[in-house]
Each structure stands twice: as C-alpha cells, then as structure tokens.
A and B are shown apart, each in its own frame.
Chain A
Amino acid sequence: MTALAIAAAVKSGERTALDVVDEHLARISQRDAEIGAFNLVLADEARTAARNVDAAVSRGEPVGPLAGVPVALKDNLCTRGVPTTCSSRMLEGWRPPYDATVVQRLRSAGAVIVGKTNLDEFAMGSSTENSAFGPTRNPHDTGRVPGGSSGGSAAAVAAGFAPLALGSDTGGSVRQPAALCGVVGFKPTYGAVSRYGLVAFASSLDQIGPMASNVADTAACYEAISGHDPRDSTSIDGAREPVVAGLGQGVDGLRVGLVAELCAASARVQQDDGLDGVSAVEGVAADVIAWVDAAATALEAAGAAVTVVSVPSAVLGLSAYYLIAPAEASSNLARYDGVRYGLRVDAANAAEMNVSSRSSGFGAEVKRRIMLGTYALSAGYYDAFYGKALRVRTLMLREFAAAYADVDVLLCPTAPTTAFELGAKTADPLLMYLNDVCTIPSNLTGHPAVSVPFGSGDDGLPVGVQLMGPALSEPVLLRAAAVLERAAPSDGSAP
C-alpha cells in the first residue's frame, strides 16, 4: 500500500492507523534482523501515535495529509527524547531535547514515526558500511550494499518496513541509495526544507529529502516537510509551489538535456559530433547508460524534446566536493569534544580528554575527512584547496545556469553502477567516492534532483536515472519523474 493510499484509508475509516503500523512493525520484526535498516525501532511510540490519529479520525477532527503513514527517519535527524546517534559511537545514547523541524512537520501531518535508520557514520559514505553499528544490507540482494549514506532509509522503503522515509543528501546520500534499492529519492532545492535538527555534515550542501516507493508519495512527503523555517537562516522565504496536484500533467513540450560529461557512453552522446573531445567522467557502467538512453526515449515518447548538452565543469564536481564537504565537516564535528554530551574518554586534562574521546568515538572515514578538511582550511593551503574548490563551485553554478537557459531539466545516471557487494570498495576510499560523481553537482549548485527507478542492470538489480533542474523547479522535476515512473519497464526486461 502506498503512503497516500494509507492516508486515504485511515481518513475514511477503512483502516486504522494502528492496524497499519502493526502491519509494518510485523514486517520489521520479520526481516530487519537480516537487513539491518534500523538503529532503533520505536514500536511503542509508533502505536501511541497511531492511536492518537485513530482517535482524531473517530472524533471527526481534521487529520493531516500523511495521517497514519509510517515513516522511517535517518538517525541523524533529531527526535525529542529519542536517541539520535548518526551511527557513531560518539553520540551513542545522546537524546536530543528537541525535534528537528521536519520531524515536527511530519508529526503534525499525521505521520507515525516507526524508527531511526542506519547510515554511514555522520552521513560520510556511499554504502552504509561506515556505520559503527554494522552495515545495512540491500533488500534486493543481502550480499550487496544498499548505497549510502541514507542506506537504512532506502532499505526500509525497499523492504516495505515503511512507505516513506527521510534521508539527508550532501553529495547524493538520498538519491544514490534510492537508485541502488529501487526506490524514488528526492533532494529538494537547498533551503526548500529546513535543516534545523539535522545533525550537520557539510552545512552548505546538506539537504533533507524524502524517499518512497513511488513519485506521488515522495511529492506528498516533500509538501509536508518543506516551507520556510525561521530557525534556519538558509531556509528560503515564502511558500513552496504545490507539487502533488500537477504530477499527472505530463512532459509535452518539455526540453530535456542529456549531460554529455556524465553519459559519455550514451548512443546519443556518441552520435553528436560536436561533442568530440569532451572530457567525461569514467566508470559509468554500460547497462546503466543504456537505461538512461531508454529514459530519454520514454520522455520523447511522452512529448519532450531531448538534446545533448555539455556542462564541462561537471567533471570537476567530485574534486571540489571532497574539499568543501570535509572542510565544513572538520568544523561541524569539532563540537564532539567529550565535554557535554556523547562519549567521554577521561584523561589527565581537558585537552587530552578531548583527544582521547575523539580518537575512540570517530570511525576511520570520519577521521579521514576531518583531517582532509582541516588541511584544506589551513593557513598556507586555504587558497590552493578550499579557495579553489569554491571557485569551481561558482563556475559550476554559472555553467548549469547556462544549460538551464536551453533546457528545462537535465538527465543522467544517479549512480555509476547497480548495488555492489559488501566490502567491494571499503579498502579504496577513492573508488567509493566515485559513486557520487553524478549526484554531487546538484549539491554544489543547490539545485533539486530526483532519482527514479528505471529498469534493472545485467545483474538484475535496480537502476536509477536522475533528473536535475534549476532552483525551485520541484513541480516540473517531479512531473517528469512521474512520466518516467509510468514508462518504467516491469522487472527483467531489457532496455
């Protein structure tokens, strides 16, 4: 049952929210030992919340658009009185005294929070293997990763543990796991959704996004959580345009651009003589590209005009990202010093206690990024590293703006490959980082992007294609995503 179907059934009295939540809790207890999607299941709290929804329905009181819908929250979203760990030893046992704005908004929309999902520690990773509490497994093949860092949320939706989940996306952390788990993952425009209560990784890139089994549920969740928040200075003023109502309007006349640099193996790019010599990212698998081409064809069939566009700086995104994100992280994660909350490993004095706590509390990938970022911001290196990355970011904004003068949305893969095996990339951080090569540009530009399941790879695992648009293009982006969803082949067919 989809989220919107559940909400309709609960509102009409056809089903109770308690029944719905029990059904999902039963699935979790059946299979989450195998998947490991959740750090914490909130069975009692969820049942209480469901009963409250049912009581409101029976009294004829208005209930929200997500009435009775079970939602899983990435465990870097603050929940009042409920442990929020970021899958780190550093925050084990910490209970925030407040709810994140998105959590508040979900509650007032009638949603029922069923648990906190696993992630790469502090959202740093692309496979959910960097969790201090063990990896999450891909429900489609438990020998494979679910992607990351929001791997727990993606797996929860894919396994039917919850119809909706929230993730956070700093370099692709909602979209890439959505692609690998065969669900929809949406990163809204930076500032469209409040970051208040999201434990920061890289503040200028972080954005909370919904994940669901379908586009309409994704859109409904986005409507529930978005909107201005006075507690987040980077939150965009004014009301958001509704997105659910226009989902069925199609893409007739829409201009779609295939990004040459991210789809070098595409037949359309190869056939375009003007693009000879374009430098492109490597490592995007042929089966993935074939499905991107198929998606382009499907959009054309629905009335869109597809062209190939070049955004040269797209290939620089990964390098710029791995300076900017660690730099901000090195500062954001400084507060985990053992003084007031989280892990403390005692030592002779405050400075040594600080070192011993951080040494024990953080995992290897977090330490690596803190060191990278500290270095990039250091006197004498700032200009060559952090400063240069900021200039690349400005260049990308300019080039993407130029591209959006010619097309309405851009099309490319979400992830270079389908889900890979556990342990396949843990020994080589650079190989792991390449997972985000197609998703990072939207974080650097702050633009919205969505991953939609579209076909399966040679290994039979889900492929996701990505649509990107300019700032606040959510309505058109999700409308195009809905077209792809309708055109997506049933399991097993070839492009």
Chain B
Amino acid sequence: MSPVVPEREPAVPGDWELVVGLEVHVELSTATKLFCGCANRFGDAPNTNVCPVCLGLPGSLPVVNAAAVDFSMRLGRALGCEVRGAVFARKNYFYPDMPKDYQISQYDQPTNTDGHLELPDGHTVGIERAHIEEDTGKTTHIGGGGRIHDADYALVDYNRAGVPLVEIVSRPDIRTAEQARAYVRELRAILLAIGVSDARMEEGSMRVDANVSVRPAGSDELRTRCEIKNLSSLRALGRAIVYEAQRHVELWSGGERPRQETRHWDEANGRTTPGRSKEDADDYRYFQDPDLVPLAPATGTIAAIDAALPPLPAARRAELVASGGGAVSTEDAALLVERDQDGLVRAAIAAGADPGVAATRVANDLAVDDWSPVTPEGLAALVSMEISGRLTATQSKQVLAEMADGGGAPDVIAQRRGFQAMAGDDLAAVVDQVIAGNPDAWSRFCAGDEAERKKLAGFLTGQVMRATRGQADGAAVNRLLQERAGS
C-alpha cells in the first residue's frame, strides 16, 4: 500500500536524508529552430512551422543556429559554468514523434560544464552540465481517454521538432522539497533575466525531472535513485519529491530496496507510478554527429558574453537587501527580484522611503502585470503617508492599486477618495462607544488568556472599523484596546 501523502516537510524522518538532483529542459526563445530556419513559436496551427530539415526528410542536413548556441553559452556563464567548444552527438532511439529516430544532442563534450546556482537562502547547488539538444514533436493520443495504451490513434505536431533546448543537469545537492522548488524558481529568474527563454512550466517551455533518493543522515553514499517525470508545476515537484522520498524510506526500512526506474507523477492521486525500468532501458548508441562540425567559440566570445550579462537575480537581491540596510527581508527581496520590481523599490528607498515598508507594500500589494505608472517618488510619498499615520495600511493598499492604474500622486488619490486615518481623540471616542456597546465581549477580553484576547480583539477592532467605515488604523485601535484594558 502506498504511504499517506504528506504535503509538507520534512519529507523524511530525522535519521534519513533526502538527496535530489534535477534535470531541467528549457526551450530557448530563439526566432528560429536549432537546425533550420523554421519559426520557433508556441501555439501555431499544427505542422505549419516545418521543413525538410526539422521533418528529418531523407537527404536533409542540419545547420546549427548560431543564436541558439549564443543563448546556451549565455546561460552557461550565468550559471558560472565553464563554457567550451562542444560536439554534437546523436542519441539513437525509436519514437514516433522524433522525425529522424535519433535526437541531436551533446554527450561527452557539452557546451557548459561545472557551474553552480545559489538559492535565495544561500544554499548552493552544483550544475554538472547544461547541454544543447533538439526538441521532439508533440504527440496527442486520440480516443481511450487520451491514455497511450488505450488510444485509437495518435496525432503528431512537428512544430516543436527541432526547437532548441538546453538541458540543465544539477548535481544531487538538493536536500529538501522546498530547495527543489527554490532551485527551479531561481533558474527561471535567471532565464528571464538573461532573456533566453520564457520558461513557462505550464506551456512546457520549462520541463523538470527529479532524481530522488534517500540515505541515512550523515552518510555521503548515493543510493538507488528514481527519476520522476511529468512534473508540470512547482507544487507537483514538491509533492512528488516528498512522496517518493517517503516511499524510499519505507522500502529501505522494510529491508527492501527501490528499483532504479523512471516513474511518473500522478497528480490526481498524488503518487508516483512505475514507468520504464532503467535495467532494460535503451542503449542510446551515442556517437558524434557526422553532419555537424564541432562548435568552437571564437576568441573573445566568452569575455563578450560575460560583459553583456545583465545583473543576475542573486546580485540584485543582495543589492536590494543592502540598500535597505537590513530592513528588507530576504523573502521580499526574492519576490521583488522575481517580479522585476526591485528597481522600483531601490529607487523609492533612494528617494527617501522607509525600506521595510516600501518593500513590503510592493511585495504584498503590487502583484499586477502592469505597474509602470508607479514612480519611485510616488511610492516614497505613499510610504511616508502610511508611516506618519495619514493613511491606514488598508487605505495605503487601495491608494497603491489606484496609482498602478494610472491614478496619479498618492496624496491626490487619498484626498479624492476621502481617505484619512482616523486617529487621536476621534478614534478613542469610537473605541469607547464600541466597548460600551459590547460589554460582554469587553469583559471577556479583559479576563481572557492570550488566545481569547486575540480573538476578541479581532471582533472589537472589526466593530470599530465598521463604525468608522474602514478609516481607522487597525494598529492604533489595538493599542487603544490594550490601554483601556489596563495592560
């Protein structure tokens, strides 16, 4: 029987350690495919972006797309890899959506080797290699509920065949499911920052496979691993790792051992199911592709790539945290960089905004696609209104939303909407009215333990908010309630 699926960490008991390595396939966003001039575009009508080369017709020959090589070298450098001349090899296996029945990839001489990726929490994951290869076509099974084995027939769309991919293979340095998710998020942030992929898991332009194993805590052995496929979201990635790790612990603890195999994540049932066993896996018979010449980057290429790399997410996070003097949390910094809003916050801080409030306000309340009307000066002004008590936190959020919508300066918006935090004697009067009107709640508040007090504070604050139509500052109300209770 399969173990109960826990969705949270720790994935394994304390005497075990989780060992995860990820293989991430990323589609490069070049204008054309890897070995021909066909458009590299997602979502077009099936089999419209095809030619003799990407259809693998007899007699056709591949010619490598220099932009794809450049993109992959850029990624290599962004991951701190050694970037070298490389050789294309053929990976031979039969599959109906692979036009030539071999995939052009890189084998023993890949473009990028030996890099690393630093997660926002400071943990470093080694990158073994990041090699270039071509994508296959896309098969859709028709009939039988879309399942391969029950299908009546299959349709193949070759628009994806020959799309350039980079496969980034990490070392088994990941120790928790959250680190795995953070790794993918960070990789995605890097890909977006350097502009080589749109990295959309939901569209399949970023595909993640996880190699999962466990070992006794403190050991450095590598035990039998299983490769988990079909992970189409970060949530699926985390759940699958936790599930698989527990399955392994249970097997080892029962005196059994996992089989080395490929497994599929079953999202609906929250478990992994066995796929192909690695023991009877294909022998890919790799050999150098005689149709292509080795890649040899010209002198100065690597230096030019390095010089042109934009600031990477890790550096931007560090810069934001530094500019906040410790007031910006690492979580907010990670989120702001991921959303490309770190520049706005840094500029607002430079314009005098309180770093912590500015970062939190934007991280929590500016999750919109287009926030271009928000200027650093406007944000700084808003933050100062909030800190001085002129706006409540709730009002501040609403003003910010209107600023993002093109509403203008925060003081103008606040005035137009009649916002003004109720404070001082006016607020104290309302609080006293509410206390008088709810004697039962008030006495329980005064006598209650911490949990009870918290619960009733929420109720009483809600009554004040109702009476003031939201113009009271929650923190100020709470302060008054505590004062009145004599604590």
Report the Cα distance A390→B173, complex, angstroms: 38
Interface: A405 (CB within 8 A): no
Knowing A97-B52, A337-B96 are in contact, say whether A196-B59 is a contact too (CB < 8 A).
yes
The answer to whether A195 touches B61 (Cβ under 8 A) is yes
Give A21 Cβ to nearest chain B Cβ, in Å.
26
Report the Cα distance A39→B99, complex, angstroms: 27
Interface: A351 (CB within 8 A): yes
The answer to whether A198 touches B90 (Cβ under 8 A) is no
Q: Which residue of B lies closest to A373 (CB)?
A: B285
Interface: A199 (CB within 8 A): yes
User: A residues 145-174 with Cβ under 8 Å of B?
Assistant: none
Report the Cα distance A230→B94, complex, angstroms: 29
Report the Cα distance A339→B161, complex, angstroms: 15
Knowing A350-B96, A377-B285, A378-B283 are in contact, say whether A233-B57 is a contact too (CB < 8 A).
no
Pick from B58, B61, B286: contact of A335, CB under 8 Å:
B58
| Chain A hits for B430, CB < 8 A | none
User: A residues 359-396 with Cβ under 8 Å of B?
Assistant: 374, 377-379, 382, 386
Which stretch of A58-66, A247-255, A326-334, A433-441 is in the interface? A326-334
Give A357 Cβ to nearest chain B Cβ, in Å.
11
Interface: B18 (CB within 8 A): no
| Chain B hits for A195, CB < 8 A | 61
Report the Cα distance A378→B62, complex, angstroms: 24
Report the Cα distance A184→B299, complex, angstroms: 45
B59, B60, B63, B102: most-surrounded residue (chain A CB, <10 A): B59
The answer to whether A337 touches B52 (Cβ under 8 A) is no
The answer to whether A197 touches B290 (Cβ under 8 A) is no
| Chain A hits for B102, CB < 8 A | 331, 334
The interface size bin for chain A is 35 or more
Interface: A91 (CB within 8 A): yes
| Chain B hits for A331, CB < 8 A | 90, 92, 102, 285, 287
The answer to whether B94 touches A351 (Cβ under 8 A) is yes
Interface: B297 (CB within 8 A): no
Interface: A341 (CB within 8 A): yes
The answer to whether A231 touches B63 (Cβ under 8 A) is yes
Pick from B52, B64, B92, B94: contact of A98, CB under 8 Å:
B52
Interface: A203 (CB within 8 A): yes
Interface: A354 (CB within 8 A): yes
The interface on chain B, measured as residues whose beta carbon lies within 8 A of the other chain's beta carbons, has a size of 29
Give A253 Cβ to nearest chain B Cβ, in Å.
36
Knowing A97-B52, A335-B101, A350-B96 are in contact, say whether A233-B63 is a contact too (CB < 8 A).
yes
| CB 8 Å contact bits of B302-331 with A (1 = contact, 0 = none) | 000000000000000000000000000000
Knowing A97-B52, A334-B102, A351-B94 are in contact, say whether A233-B285 is a contact too (CB < 8 A).
no
Interface: B5 (CB within 8 A): no
Report the Cα distance A334→B94, complex, angstroms: 7
User: B residues 90-122 with Cβ under 8 Å of A?
Assistant: 90, 92, 94, 96, 99-102
Q: Which residue of A lies closest to B287 (CB)?
A: A377
The answer to whether A78 touches B285 (Cβ under 8 A) is no
| CB 8 Å contact bits of A51-76 with B (1 = contact, 0 = none) | 00000000000000000000000001
The answer to whether B290 touches A340 (Cβ under 8 A) is no
| CB 8 Å contact bits of B61-85 with A (1 = contact, 0 = none) | 1111000000000000000000000
The answer to whether A340 touches B99 (Cβ under 8 A) is yes
The answer to whether A339 touches B96 (Cβ under 8 A) is yes
| Chain B hits for A97, CB < 8 A | 52, 57
Report the Cα distance A145→B18, complex, angstroms: 68
Report the Cα distance A327→B89, complex, angstroms: 13
Interface: B367 (CB within 8 A): no
| Chain A hits for B287, CB < 8 A | 327-328, 331, 377, 382, 386
The answer to whether A230 touches B52 (Cβ under 8 A) is no
Report the Cα distance A341→B59, complex, angstroms: 13
Q: Which residue of A lies closest to B88 (CB)?
A: A233
Interface: A218 (CB within 8 A): no
The answer to whether A341 touches B57 (Cβ under 8 A) is yes
Interface: A232 (CB within 8 A): yes
| CB 8 Å contact bits of A309-339 with B (1 = contact, 0 = none) | 0000000000000000001101100110101
Give B137 Cβ to nearest chain A Cβ, in Å.
10
A198, A328, A335: most-surrounded residue (chain B CB, <10 A): A335
Give A392 Cβ to nearest chain B Cβ, in Å.
16
| Chain B hits for A330, CB < 8 A | 92, 285
Report the Cα distance A286→B353, complex, angstroms: 99
B64, B96, B285: most-surrounded residue (chain A CB, <10 A): B285
Interface: A200 (CB within 8 A): yes
| Chain A hits for B90, CB < 8 A | 331
User: B residues 30-69 with Cβ under 8 Å of A?
Assistant: 52, 55-64
| Chain A hits for B291, CB < 8 A | 200, 203, 233-234
The answer to whether B58 touches A84 (Cβ under 8 A) is yes
| Chain B hits for A307, CB < 8 A | none
Interface: A96 (CB within 8 A): yes
Give B42 Cβ to nearest chain A Cβ, in Å.
22
The answer to whether A197 touches B59 (Cβ under 8 A) is yes
Give A290 Cβ to nearest chain B Cβ, in Å.
38
Report the Cα distance A351→B149, complex, angstroms: 12
The answer to whether A334 touches B92 (Cβ under 8 A) is yes
Sample (12) of A-B pairs whose CB atoms are under 8 Å apart: A84-B58, A97-B57, A196-B60, A200-B58, A200-B59, A202-B290, A231-B63, A334-B102, A377-B92, A377-B285, A377-B286, A377-B287
4 closest Cβ pairs, A-B complex? A334-B101, A204-B290, A377-B285, A203-B290
Beyond the given pairs A335-B100, A341-B57, 18 more chain A to chain B contacts, judged by CB atoms under 8 angstroms and listed by A's residue number, are: A78-B59, A84-B58, A84-B59, A96-B52, A97-B52, A98-B57, A195-B61, A196-B59, A233-B291, A233-B292, A334-B94, A334-B101, A337-B96, A337-B101, A340-B55, A351-B94, A354-B94, A377-B286
